């Protein structure tokens, strides 16, 4: 092993180790106990740290002139709420009122300690025995009724309180999880808990928040570190990982001195039907901007002049002379964007599946296949959206079920499935799911998937493994759009593609401002 290789190997290992593994509520509670024992601190100190971390983020929302109602239960989530009330008071917040729901069998020790501290301050506390003890409207609610200890169906009192808060508040911020949220069971069918505008999670985002069904529970979520032992958390087994910047930057290959175009791989993009060639042009341009050494567009000879004017860097190959084409020279191939559904399309895709070149299948390349066609290729990435996925793998009632199908198929067949979502899931042959943390609604426009296909294919051509190319491609695609969305209401696929290379530089170096 050379020294340079060894250094980058260690760096990548460390980056994986430091990536956030998503864990269950139960495991989080074990981490809570472990941290207290290991650091020799009382659990109430951990509660103080959690409340501080919450407040630090909360004050960034500039709500100090609003009336803040802290609605608390009597477990530790409620204890957090009381500590938050005290800390906001210390920060100079003038309009704080605390409502304690009295329908709990008992109070936790740390709740009681925080209640005692709160009672010494000039903050109104209302003890609520019925719905009538709550005001008719709220401005800002800090929801601290139930957290990870939520363990059974809500009774009519809690359901009525939560309905009232949902219907009569301007802004609801939940502590750790929205009260009543089925974070581990994913059972959202008849949800009657809090619908937060923002949830501030402790230490880890919840897997549930990455599933589209969670829109009933929270509009947005942010995660704050509360000082739990990271080494212990990282040792908890999990199949789900939240992709972060450090992991992706460690994956990206450097452009080295004395390198040349041959050092960065050769991408082949199959062009689509005459009416949808824009899709393959977008994929090709994304491959160029993502740093592939060469990119060739396979298309009809009559289209060569248009392709060359659109993107002079593109090379062209004649689809009419396919039998003369030496596929061995391509380091990675993309097919699907604008392909069209036909028997000929299916023949093209099946031919590519017989080759060993790293391959990305998207859109119509998936629409002409069945799932049986997808096994046996050693370097295959497929990038379906929900409908494409369900056509191949059958209808799914929930996103959690869909995710489980993708996870097991990827593992059983040794392929990478990029299941597109606001938080795209990348399911790997090792049975892991990487969850992409970048991207935003400004990207919702036709052609965006074609750009993603180009990004992933270029990274494959540059030598990344299929799961690495998929993870890095998704992250950079969304990261570029996030930077652009600060200045643009809509981030079109062309705009995103034009800025890919700049965004990669910023990703590696910061600061994160694209202009």
Ligand X SMILES: NC(=O)C1=CN([C@@H]2O[C@H](COP(=O)(O)OP(=O)(O)OC[C@H]3O[C@@H](n4cnc5c(N)ncnc54)[C@H](OP(=O)(O)O)[C@@H]3O)[C@@H](O)[C@H]2O)[C@@H](O)CC1
Binding site for ligand X (CB under 6 A): 28-29, 31-32, 46-47, 50, 73-80, 104-105, 108, 146-152, 154, 158, 175-176, 202, 226, 228
| Interactions with K ion, residue window 58-87 (CB under 5 A) | 77
DSSP string covering 134-185? S-S-EEEEEEES--TT--S---HHHHHHHHHHHHHEEEEEEESS-TT--TTT
The binding site for (6S)-NADPHX comprises: 76-80, 147-153, 176, 279, 338, 385, 450
| CB nearer to ligand X: pick between 73 and 384 | 73
How many whole angstroms separate alpha carbon 192 and alpha carbon 181? 9
Which of K ion, ligand X, none does 73 bind, CB closer than 5 to 8 A by kind? ligand X
Of 121-160, binders to K ion (CB under 5 A) are: 143, 147
The binding site for AMP comprises: 420-424, 449
Distance CA 275, CA 101 (A): 62
Ranked by CB distance to K ion, the top (closest) residue is: 179
Shortest CB 142 distance to K ion, Å: 9
The rounded distance, in Å, linking the Cα atoms of 85 and 122 is 11
Residue numbering of the annotated binding site: 76-80, 143, 147-153, 176, 179, 279, 338, 385, 420-424, 449-450
Dihedral in degrees, nearest 10, Cα atoms 383, 432, 245, 379: -50
Report the partner that residue 452 touches, choosing among ligand X, K ion, none (CB closer than 5 to 8 A by kind).
none
Cβ proximity to K ion, 48 vs 364, nearer residue:
48
Judged by DSSP in three states, 258 sits in coil
66 binds, among ligand X, K ion, none (CB under 5 to 8 A by kind): none
Measured from the CB atom, is 103 or 391 closer to ligand X?
Answer: 103
Min separation Cβ 174 and K ion, Å? 5
Q: Contact between 203 and K ion (CB under 5 A)?
A: no
* Per-position DSSP letters for 337-365, written without gaps between them: TT--SSHHHHHHHHHHHHS-S-EEE-HHH
From the CB of 179, what's the least distance to ligand X, in Å? 8
- Give the whole-angstrom CA distance, residue 515 versus residue 491: 14
Among 115, 175, 243, 251, binds K ion (CB under 5 A): 175
Whether the upstream peptide bond of residue 511 has omega within 30° of 0, thus cis, is yes
Closer CB to ligand X, 164 or 245, in the complex: 164
179 vs 457, which CB is nearer to K ion? 179
Q: What, of K ion, ligand X, none, does residue 466 touch, CB below 5 to 8 Å by kind?
A: none
Q: Which does 75 bind (CB under 5 to 8 A by kind): K ion, ligand X, none?
A: ligand X
Residue 473's binding partner among ligand X, K ion, none (Cβ under 5 to 8 angstroms by kind) is none
Q: In what order do the strands lie in the sheet with 315-318?
A: 20-21, 240-242, 433-435, 425-427, 416-419, 380-382, 359-361, 332-335, 266-270, 294-299, 315-318
Residue 174 interacting with K ion (CB under 5 A): yes
**Residue 497 touches K ion, criterion: CB under 5 A:** no
Residue 348 touches which of K ion, ligand X, none (Cβ within 5-8 Å per kind)? none
Residues 514/473, Cβ–Cβ less than 8 Å = no
Beta carbon of residue 202, minimum distance to K ion (angstroms, whole number): 11
Q: Which residues define the annotated binding site for K(+)?
A: 77, 143, 179
Distance CA 115, CA 100 (A): 10
Name which of 78 and 449 has its Cβ closer to ligand X. Answer: 78
Helices then strands, counting H and E runs in the chain, come out as 17, 18
Phi-psi region of 463 (alpha: psi -120 to 50; beta: other; left: phi over 0): left
Q: Which helix (H) or strand (E) holds 28?
A: helix 25-39
Give the C-alpha separation, 420 to 383, whole Å: 7
> Which conformational region is residue 181 in: left (phi greater than 0), alpha (psi within -120 to 50 degrees), or beta?
beta
> What are the structure tokens assigned to 349, written together?
């895709």
Taking CB under 5 A as the binding criterion, the range among 30-38, 131-139, 166-174, 389-397 that sits at the site for K ion is 166-174
Min dist. Cβ of residue 290 to ligand X (A): 40
d(C-alpha 360, C-alpha 466), whole Å: 9
Which of ligand X, K ion, none does residue 174 bind to, with CB < 5 to 8 Å depending on kind? K ion
Taking only Cα atoms into account, the Rg of the chain, rounded to an integer number of angstroms, comes to 26
The entry of K ion, ligand X, none that residue 58 binds, CB within 5 to 8 Å by partner kind? none
**Smallest gap, in angstroms, from Cβ of residue 319 to ligand X?**
58
Interacting residues with K ion (CB under 5 A) = 77, 143, 147, 174-175, 179
């Amino acid at each position: 092993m050379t020294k340079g290789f060894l250094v980058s190997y260690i760096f990548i290992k460390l980056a994986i180790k430091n990536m956030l593994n998503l864990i269950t509520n139960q495991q989080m509670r074990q981490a809570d106990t472990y941290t207290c024992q290991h650091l020799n601190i009382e659990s109430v100190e951990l509660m103080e740290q959690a409340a501080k971390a919450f407040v630090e983020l909360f004050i960034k929302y500039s709500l100090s002139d609003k009336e803040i109602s802290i609605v608390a239960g009597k477990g530790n989530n409620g204890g957090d709420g009381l500590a938050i009330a005290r800390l906001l008071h210390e920060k100079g917040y003038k309009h704080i009122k605390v409502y304690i729901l009295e329908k709990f069998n008992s109070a936790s020790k740390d709740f009681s300690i925080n209640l005692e501290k709160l009672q010494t301050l000039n903050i109104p506390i209302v003890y609520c025995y019925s719905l009538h003890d709550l005001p008719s409207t709220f401005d800002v609610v800090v929801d601290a009724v139930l957290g990870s200890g939520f363990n059974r169906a809500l009774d009519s009192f809690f359901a009525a309180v939560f309905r009232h808060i949902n219907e009569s508040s301007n802004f609801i911020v939940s502590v750790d999880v929205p009260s009543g949220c089925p974070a581990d069971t994913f059972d959202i069918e008849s949800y009657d808990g809090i619908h937060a505008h923002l949830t501030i999670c402790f230490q880890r985002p919840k897997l549930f928040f990455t599933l589209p069904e969670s829109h009933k529970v929270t509009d947005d979520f942010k995660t704050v570190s509360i000082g739990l032992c990271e080494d212990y958390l990282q040792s908890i087994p999990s199949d789900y990982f939240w992709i972060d910047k450090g992991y992706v930057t460690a994956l990206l290959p450097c452009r080295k001195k004395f390198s040349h175009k041959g050092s960065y791989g050769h991408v082949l993009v199959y062009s689509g039907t005459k009416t949808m060639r824009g899709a393959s042009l977008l994929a090709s341009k994304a491959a160029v901007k993502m740093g592939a050494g060469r990119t060739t567009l396979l298309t009809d000879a009559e289209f060569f002049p248009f392709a060359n004017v659109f993107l002079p860097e593109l090379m062209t190959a004649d689809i009419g002379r396919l039998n003369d084409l030496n596929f061995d020279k391509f380091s990675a191939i993309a097919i699907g964007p604008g392909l069209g559904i036909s028997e000929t399309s299916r023949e093209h895709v099946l031919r590519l599946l017989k080759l060993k070149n790293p391959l990305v299948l998207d859109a119509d390349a998936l629409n002409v296949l069945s799932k049986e066609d997808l096994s046996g290729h050693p370097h295959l990435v497929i990038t379906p959206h929900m409908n494409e996925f369900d056509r191949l793998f059958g209808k799914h009632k929930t996103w959690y079920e869909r995710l489980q199908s993708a996870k097991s198929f990827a593992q059983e067949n040794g392929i990478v499935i990029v299941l597109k979502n606001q938080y795209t899931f990348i399911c790997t042959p090792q049975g892991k799911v990487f969850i992409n943390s970048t991207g935003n609604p400004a990207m919702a426009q036709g052609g965006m998937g074609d750009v993603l296909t180009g990004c992933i294919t270029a990274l494959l051509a540059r030598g990344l493994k299929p799961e690495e190319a998929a993870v890095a491609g998704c992250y950079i695609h969304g990261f570029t759009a996030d930077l652009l969305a600060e200045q643009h209401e809509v981030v079109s696929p062309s705009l995103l593609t034009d800025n890919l290379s700049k965004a990669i530089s910023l990703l590696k170096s910061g600061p994160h401002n694209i202009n």
